[in-house]
Structure 1
């Protein structure tokens, strides 16, 4: 991690020392600088207690009162996995915890990277064009708002950044800080109609009033105090945050821009997970013994924690009503507001040998 900080600082210094005609060092309104990078890193380390509760089977050995938690898929402390080449059941210890796996920058200015401490200066024509985020009236009466932002999906595994528990078998091997996806280069992220026609025809099935009525049930379930969590079978819903369809950078934000911003991050999470490998389940079948492919995400397996511009104390499930968590999470500081960094936590269940 020291090498990453040194390299980024050197790049920033070199850019600052070399004036570029027509451009500033940082894009107008972009808060990214080495201080924001250090803030995000510090906040991610300071909130690592959100890996709790840690359980052996269904028994908590390191509880975290009031934290979002799901039921253990394997209640017993001893688990069994089939191991090649003979595929004989081997015993292990059933361990579960929440691991921070990714960071999500959701920004209104294209190519602005607060978590990495730099941005890529662009012309005003581009920054004011289709790539730029906005918040505008979606209806003529002005009562409803529509938000748009770009998302940078970062591999941000805090354990390996601080070189802690590197030999723990139940940590997903991913690497250090890296950029895994940016939406600025994705034309489908910018345009709902283009995405529905060429990339994601399922939008026609779920982005309609009938499918959205089911999301009311998901919103009610996610809003329950303490035990509230989303309904996994309603995979197209995000609780009180709306729907993942259309899976683009546009969303409604009647609950405020902070909630709308997180909904946009959640859309990118959904896009990155659909049809991909996840890790949860029961031993000797799936999940605890090896990853498996699932056609749709399991919403209850994920939770979010805000790192920037304001750090949250506890992670929360997908779909939780914004009135319980979003207050003062987007301070009206010119040049810094409306840019967010979120940490994604995933429930990890492992049969440790």
Structure 2
């Protein structure tokens, strides 16, 4: 197994510097609200039951039994260290709270960071558009993607050898305001040309099968271009035509964020036998590897939902008019690890 090191994003360091510089001087902006997440809500608004099931040596313990189809099943494992020496271990698998993603109409606003606003102008102002207001019948929102290894932060369950990407604390990893493909569908297409293969009525219609499967709790992993009942993944941009609902639209954008980051090698596969010793680059979205909980404005604290699961099952009353329409989600990922 290759030697693991703690990775910290350059962008995260820049953000930390800005926050330090602005300590006590956060810029207020109309439409920029604080989630008050940094504080007691980091404990109270987390679905702790969602860690389950835990599998040790292939034996599941607790929970509803849902885990990816390709999850590691072998009870024992072997990984090599930096010197090439093998280490036998026990297969340990679980759901871990790994990331936070927030969606904002005000560029630079961060609800997660309690209402801090970074110095971006409103050139690409977001909207929950409809036919009468905003930018027409479409939605556009910016996003901020945070590392949030909560179990590592609390020093619970996770050994460093079972930390696939090395993050040990909260850190901003990506901001859509500096990504030109997020607000431009044409640039998103040229960055992800595989979209041409699924840009047809047949591929779109086929997503109905994924919508049914996702709502019953098992997304079809082979249909990489579908996000179940939420819609189609491509283009990998922040534009969503047709305003279904804020919860549905932000859920689809969450799937697009993960798909884009996997495509760029910035999100890794952590489930399956091949990922037991270290995370693997996986250019398509491993849909079954993830599940989600709403954090703000109304948290899910009893259960999680899978990718593409109908919002009729979990999304009712998850927003608050006016002051709670920029949602925050916690991203859970299945982690197969060789624990030695």
Q: 1:86 & 1:191 partners in 2: Cα distance?
A: 46
Q: 1:341 & 1:104 partners in 2: Cα distance?
A: 6
8 Å Cα contact 1:27-1:119 kept in structure 2: no
Are 2:32 and 1:30 aligned?
Answer: yes
Corresponding residue for residue 42 of structure 2: 41
Tell me the TM-score normalized by structure 1: 0.80
Unmatched segments (≥5 aa) in structure 1:
17-24
Unmatched segments (≥5 aa) in structure 2:
1-14
8 Å Cα contact 1:68-1:317 kept in structure 2: no
Corresponding residue for residue 109 of structure 2: 112
- Where does 1:1-353 land on structure 2 (aligned, <5 Å)? 11-13=22-24, 15=25, 25-32=27-34, 35-38=36-39, 40-43=41-44, 46-61=46-61, 63-65=62-64, 68-71=66-69, 73-81=71-79, 90-120=87-117, 126-127=121-122, 129=123, 131-137=124-130, 145-165=137-157, 167=159, 169-172=161-164, 173-196=166-189, 198-224=190-216, 228-252=217-241, 255-274=244-263, 276=265, 277-282=268-273, 286-313=274-301, 314-332=303-321, 334=322, 336-353=323-340
- Alpha-carbon deviations, 1:237-281, whole Å to 9, x = none? 101111110100012455411111121122111100125342222
Which of the two has higher C-alpha Rg? 1
* Residue range with higher mean Cα deviation, 310-319 or 67-76: 67-76
Q: 1:253 & 1:339 partners in 2: Cα distance?
A: 18
**Number of corresponding residues:** 318
Compared CA separation, residues 136 and 347, structure 1 to 2 (3 A): same
8 Å Cα contact 1:232-1:300 kept in structure 2: yes
8 Å Cα contact 1:147-1:261 kept in structure 2: no
Tell me the TM-score normalized by structure 2: 0.83
Q: 2:157 & 2:72 partners in 1: Cα distance?
A: 24
Compared CA separation, residues 135 and 223, structure 1 to 2 (3 A): same
Deviation at 1:26, TM superposition (A): 1.2
- Alpha-carbon deviations, 1:36-91, whole Å to 9, x = none? 433652445x4233211101243223x124x7433463334223445675666x43
Q: 1:349 & 1:68 partners in 2: Cα distance?
A: 14
Q: 2:20 & 2:297 partners in 1: Cα distance?
A: 21
